[in-house]
């Protein structure tokens, strides 16, 4: 598979799964623009550009799309998100507004902007989470915002389908990122993966990036409106 000649925009591409996606798409030949909020990362890759964007602020959309407005856009990957942990009893209205703005509103607006720039046959991939089907304490806003994103994906697939633009969700399970490592002792996380995952291990960012890259490529043109749970069989 090759993405030579394609332009991709990846949100949250400085670390974790987003970083792996940037690397995968670039190695396949795509020009990649990625966003970061705090610190840009030197990916040491050709055709990679970093843009600062704060998804809490819709005005960041202009800066995010500026590098691709003239060249056009073939692939959008909505990866950036936050997952603050708080039980429902402790949540505030401000918490709700912030998480929904970053995890749901901004990706929706990004899809709208991307579709206007894409030629027929473009690709949109949204990153969700296994937690929309395996909920946990303290994850109410994270689960709700990602569930909203999954529904945006389904509707967008219908609306953009006549143009051959595919829109899909990838929902990772336990993946070795800073976010996962912050949730508890790593040996316990690894033990849970061995016990409950069909493949018996914690996933890597590259595992997820491979799925995203496939959906972004030419061989996935008949797949749209789907939620691919890239979990190593954590849920089967």
Question: What residues act catalytically?
Answer: 142
CB 13 within 8 A of CB 39: no
In which element (H, E) is residue 196 found?
Answer: helix 186-196
Residue 179's beta-bridge partner residues?
A: none
């Amino acid at each position: 598979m090759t993405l030579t000649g394609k332009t991709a925009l990846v949100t949250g591409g400085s670390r974790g799964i987003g970083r792996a996606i940037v690397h995968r798409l670039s190695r396949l030949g795509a020009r990649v623009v990625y966003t970061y909020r705090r610190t840009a990362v030197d990916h040491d890759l050709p055709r990679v550009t970093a843009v600062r964007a704060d998804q809490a602020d819709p005005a960041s959309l202009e800066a995010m799309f500026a590098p691709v407005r003239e060249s056009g856009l073939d692939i959008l990957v909505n990866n950036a998100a936050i997952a603050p942990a708080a039980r429902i009893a402790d949540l505030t209205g401000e918490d709700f507004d912030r998480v929904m703005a970053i995890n749901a509103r901004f990706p929706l607006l990004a899809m709208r902007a991307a579709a206007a720039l894409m030629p027929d046959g473009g690709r949109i991939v949204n990153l969700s989470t296994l937690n929309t089907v395996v909920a946990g304490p303290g994850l109410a806003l994270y689960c709700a915002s990602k569930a909203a994103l999954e529904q945006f994906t389904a509707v967008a697939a219908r609306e953009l389908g006549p143009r051959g633009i595919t829109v899909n969700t990838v929902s990772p399970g336990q993946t070795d990122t800073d976010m996962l490592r912050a949730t508890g002792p790593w040996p316990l996380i690894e033990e849970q993966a061995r016990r409950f995952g069909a493949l018996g291990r914690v996933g890597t960012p590259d595992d997820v990036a491979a799925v995203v890259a496939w959906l972004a490529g030419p061989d996935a043109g008949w797949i749209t409106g789907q939620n691919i749970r890239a979990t190593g069989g954590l849920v089967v």
